[in-house]
Amino acid sequence: MQVTLRIRRFNPEKDQKPYWADYTLDNVEPTDRVLELLHRVKWEQDGTLSFRRSCAHGVCGSDGMRINGMNRLACKVLVNTLGEGDALTIQIEPLLGLRVIKDLIVDMEPFFEHYRSVMPYFVNDDPPPEDGRERLQSPEDRERFDDTTKCILCACCTTSCPSFWANQDYLGPAAIVQAHRFIFDSRDHAAEERLKILAETDGVWRCRTIYNCTMACPREIEVTRAIGEVKLAIARGSVE
Amino acid sequence: MQTHQYEAIIVGGGGAGLMAALYASRSVKTAVISKLYPTRSHTGAAQGGIGAALGNLEEDRPEWHAFDTVKGGDYLSDQDAALTLAEEAVSAVIELEHLGLPFDRTPDGRISQRRFGGHTSNFGDKPVRRACHAADRTGHMILQTLYQQCIKNEVTFFDEFQVVDLIRSGDAVVGVIAVNIDDGELHIFHSKAVLFATGGWGRVWEITSNAHSLTGDGNAITYRRGVPMQDMEFFQFHPTGIYKMGILITEGVRGEGGVLINDKGERFMEKYAPHIKDLASRDVVSRAIYLEIEAGRGINGQRYVYLDVTPETVNRYLAEAGEDRRITREYIETKLPDILDFCRTYLGVDPVTEPMPVQPTAHYGMGGIPTDLHGRVVVDAQRTPLPGLYAAGECACVSVHGANRLGTNSLTDLIVFGRRAGKHMAEYCQGADFVALPENPAGEIQEELERLRKADGTRKPYQIREEMRQVMMKHVSVFRTAEGMQEAVETIRRLKDEYANNLHIDDRGKRFNTDLFEAWELGCLLDIAEVTAVSALAREESRGAHSRDDFPKRNDEKWMVHTLAYRAADGGVELNHKKPVDMSLAEKDEKFKPKERVY
Ligand SMILES: Cc1cc2nc3c(=O)[nH]c(=O)nc-3n(C[C@H](O)[C@H](O)[C@H](O)COP(=O)(O)OP(=O)(O)OC[C@H]3O[C@@H](n4cnc5c(N)ncnc54)[C@H](O)[C@@H]3O)c2cc1C
Ligand code: FES
């Protein structure tokens, strides 16, 4: 089939403002990934087209972008999920809410700054078990936070959130997901501190339960639900 | 040009680099430089598990683990290294748990373990549960946990900085040159010691499980600065990559009971490895798949076979083997969620009801930058260290994995030897002074990058790259012959010439010029492909992952040596075959002496 990629391009080194550019590709297989099409444009037609990518199978989080208006990983979207027929146009833009560095590449620093601010690390200063072995955790306690361990920090959720678009000081869903992963880990000791951070003005209360984040997550994390659990824990003053 | 000063520089933010950083940063001023955000390193793609003889579900011992490692490596592993790996694996995994890693748990709350290829109890007796795992996302959890701890410990990161050269002054290593990818500016990092942890180079081959970023940069950089590459002819093809795409299907699938099936519906591994069947070493299984395909028993005569983990099939074989265990659909969903997701997304195949089409995929480099047990880079057959230079992880060759790596042993390697290297590096820095930078240290690389940026010939990087990947897939993969490898060497040399004289790139800008970096990385891949093919051609035997039609037998008389490949003055490859394998375990124990490898 024939596919036209309509790509939002911008290189501040030489462009006054962003513009749309069309690239037509022949012999596209319906099972091709959008990332492969981007590569074909870059390799065969225009080497200046810039985007991030690495693993090419949805586990590293490099290639989050807006594909037909939805935040997706380009390597995880097959052409046949976007339409059928002999000819198809796919629209691709950078993630919203973060400064564009070049073409589909956005500045991730503010995103990682929010991430770092929620103490996204394990805290437990008790001495480890005397037998020198692992701390014990029941399968049920482990299951409690399983969903949020899956996050790959691709920013698809945060940059799909209208509250984040409106106010970029909002920590955003990804940071809350990361905090959730530790708050509900029975081995961790810093839940209280994290809940305090998340209870501040730019924390969970900016979430309006719009569900865009859950729709956007390529790892199928129930983001809105995780945020809800954090809200509840703050309201109750406990993680039980 | 900005100059930074850190006592210790770590190049690479994958499992090995981060582990070393956690240790080094405790006592010396340390920075990690990574071309990717660390959490995007390919360690995050590791699925099945990390090997350690914890014995949480059945009896296990480090010496059995060491034995399996040596045998799996077809006796080319340095035995002191294999023992170190196996012994320290236990504390390494426990340390990860203490750092918060969310392993799957046994009913009594311990770290859960499963079977993996080549891992046995009692010196080859029967498969043992040694692979510690978090579903099929073990690498993701390791990478996240280590990165989180680095944040906690305020380790300094230079993210999206690409290291392009190593600075040496006389005998000393004094730093690296990196480009800030964002604005294209060169930076000099002046240091007392440098550790490379840049990962693998699977992108040399057409079908691979490796990320686009795995282009062997660290190996190429050090090679160009006089460090040899060791045992590069040994590159592992993992038996089960998704057909045509190469995406990995973890061996954990077979560990949970999955089986390989040919077009006739036969479980063909019964023929090639009667004892442990589908859980034989990867080299053995990959060859079996190739032979089945060559004999016309690929599915519908095509170049793939089936990997079947449907409860129906698995339970039938479990019953046949007299085992009590049975699996359910739900069990598969919880133990292999990502594998199911990959197959459903990319193939439209649901592994709980249908088999998966698989073929061998280029996966892991056993060779690399030679090091000793402390991660110090050693530059000759006498194992002389080059002071201040370290390597760890997949880019390094300790050599633990010998001629063939066992599944789960790479993640163990990252943690055990990343930790050792980080510690040693810190001690070294405390006792060393900064050596002055040479004059204009970035001159040479700046010139090369400018050449690439302006390259105005007729061949685009991807054209050269695809040709390289195809010829390497055809001639330097699972089965090899002299003619084929000769052809590969000649093709690579022609491609190197085109790269030097007739390259074309489009992007002449400074900002996020991925066109330029892809071109520079292609240069690394070509060096590595050449060394691999030349090293393979010279080794006239079959051992582990290096299997030759014209020399089908292992030759212990002549080839119990490591290959060292140096860059010659004329740019070609110079080989040295004088570095003997460490046999310290065999000296004390018959069982570790080379013998025929049967599974
Ligand atoms: C799909 C898959 C599944 C696997 N599953 C398992 C498993 O279950 N068990 C197991 O033991 N092993 C497994 N392996 C192997 C194992 O995951 C890898 O060997 C290991 O993760 C490599 O880690 P590393 O730290 O050496 O490198 P990586 O994690 O690849 O990291 C390399 C780092 O170097 C940086 N870098 C590279 N070049 C440069 C440069 N020029 N400048 C700056 N930075 C640079 C990158 O940014 C990155 O941070 C698997 C491998 C794959 C591909
Ligand atoms: S390239 Fe890694 S998630 Fe898409």
pLDDT tens string A175-199:
999 999 999 999 999 999 999 999 9
A17 touches chain B (CB under 8 A): no
d(CA A145, CA A180): 7
What letter would DSSP give residue B581?
P
| Nearest ligand to residue A35 Cα | 2
The pLDDT-based confidence of B598 (bands split at 50, 70, 90) is confident
User: Are A121 and B141 inside 8 Å of each other by CB?
Assistant: no
Per the structure block, which two tokens stand in for B73?
A: 């490596």
**Closest listed ligand to the CA of B525:** 1
Ligand nearest to the CA of B39: 1
Query: Domain check: are A125 and A206 in the same one?
Result: yes
What is the CATH classification number for the domain harbouring A72?
A: 3.10.20.30
Q: Which residues contact A62 (CB under 8 A, 6 or more apart)?
A: A52, A53, A54, A55, A154, B36, B37, B40
Q: Token pair for residue B317?
A: 């074989």
* DSSP 3-state of A204: helix
Return the residue of A nearest to B215 by Cα.
A54
CB contact under 8 A, A102 and B511: yes
Q: Are residues A6 and A40 in the same domain?
A: yes
Among A39, A74, A105, which residue terminates a domain? Answer: A105
Total Cβ atoms within 10 A of residue B550:
12
d(CA A32, CA A218) in angstroms, rounded, equals: 18
Q: What does the pLDDT read at residue A195? A: 98
Interface test with A, best of B60, B110, B212 (most A CBs within 10 A): B212
Instruction: List the one residue out of A215, A220, A198 whose CA is nearest residue A150.
Output: A220
Quick one: pLDDT at residue B171?
A: 86
Q: How many helices (H) and strands (E) does chain B have?
A: 18, 22
Output the DSSP codes for B500-567: HHSBB-S---STT-HHHHHHHHHHHHHHHHHHHHHHHHH--S-BTTB-BSSS-S--HHHH-EEEEEEE
- Tell me the pLDDT band of B150, cut-offs 50, 70 and 90: very high
Whether A149 and B100 lie within 8 Å, measured CB to CB: no
- Locate tokens 């010396």: which residue? B28
**pLDDT-based confidence at B570, cuts 50/70/90?**
very high
CA of B559 to nearest chain A CA: how many angstroms apart? 36
Closest Cα in chain B to A133: B94
- Residues A174 and A139 reside in one and the same domain: yes
Q: Is the model's pLDDT at B122 over the cut of 90?
A: yes
**Start-to-end CA span in chain B (Å):** 57
A-chain CB neighbours of B245 within 8 Å are: 57
Sign, CA dihedral B95-B99-B103-B106, equals positive
Using the Cβ of A94 and the Cβ atoms of chain B, whether some distance falls under 8 Å is answered with: no
Are A32 and A98 contained in the same domain?
A: yes
Pick among A14, A36, A43, A53 to test the B interface (most B CBs inside 10 A)? A43
Checking if the pLDDT of B271 tops 90, the result is yes
Which residue of A51, A121, A140 to mutate against B (max B Cβ within 10 Å)?
Answer: A121
Span B455-476, average pLDDT: 97
The number of folded domains in chain A is: 2
Q: Tens digits of per-residue pLDDT, A14-46?
A: 999 999 999 999 999 999 999 999 999 999 999
3-class secondary structure, B139: helix
Q: Which CATH number does the domain housing residue A212 bear?
A: 1.10.1060.10
Determine the pLDDT at residue A107: 98
Query: Are A51 and A113 in the same domain?
Result: no
Residue nearest to atom 20 of ligand 1 (CA): B43
pTM above 0.95, yes or no: yes
Q: Which residues contact A53 (CB under 8 A, 6 or more apart)?
A: A35, A38, A39, A62, A63, A74, A75, B212
**Whole-angstrom distance, CA of residue A239 vs CA of residue A145:** 12
Contact check, Cβ <8 Å, B39/A61: yes
State which of A74, A105, A136 marks the end of a domain. A105
Asked whether this complex has an ipTM greater than 0.85, the answer is yes
| CATH topology assigned to domain B243-361 | Flavocytochrome C3; Chain A, domain 1 (3.90.700)
Q: What is the pLDDT of residue A159?
A: 98
pLDDT tens digits, B169-215: 988 899 999 999 999 999 999 999 999 999 999 999 999 999 999 99
What pLDDT is stored for residue A152 in this prediction?
98
How big is the A-B interface in CB pairs under 8 Å? 151
E-assigned strand segments in B186-293: 186-190, 193-196, 229-230, 235-242, 259-261
Q: Rounded distance, CA B534 to CA B572, Å?
A: 10
A98 and A135 inside one domain: no
Asked if residue A173 and residue A99 are part of one domain, the reply reads no
Per-residue pLDDT band at A240 (split at 50, 70, 90)? confident
Please give the structure tokens belonging to residue B54: 């914890």
Q: What is the pLDDT of residue B279?
A: 93
- Confidence bin at B44 (pLDDT 50/70/90): very high
Q: What is the mean pLDDT of chain B?
A: 97
Distance CA B414, CA B426 (A): 17
The residue among B184, B453, B515, B521 whose CA lies nearest residue A43 is B515
- A24: number of Cβ within 10 Å: 13
Host domain of residue A11: 2-105
B47 three-state secondary structure: coil
pLDDT of B583 above 90: yes
Taken in order B216, B218, B219, B224, the sign of the CA dihedral is positive
8 Å CB contact of A149 and B37: no
Of A105, A126, A147, which marks where a domain is finished?
Answer: A105
Which of B42, B213, B361 to probe ligand 1 with, by most ligand atoms within 8 A of CB? B42
pLDDT mean across residues, chain A: 97
What value does the CA radius of gyration of chain B take, rounded to a whole number of Å? 23
Q: Which of B103, B105, B213 sits opposite A138 (nearest CB)?
A: B105
Say whether A59 and B45 touch across the interface (CB within 8 A): yes
> Is A147 in the same domain as A218?
yes
- Cis omega (within 30 of 0) for bond into B121: no
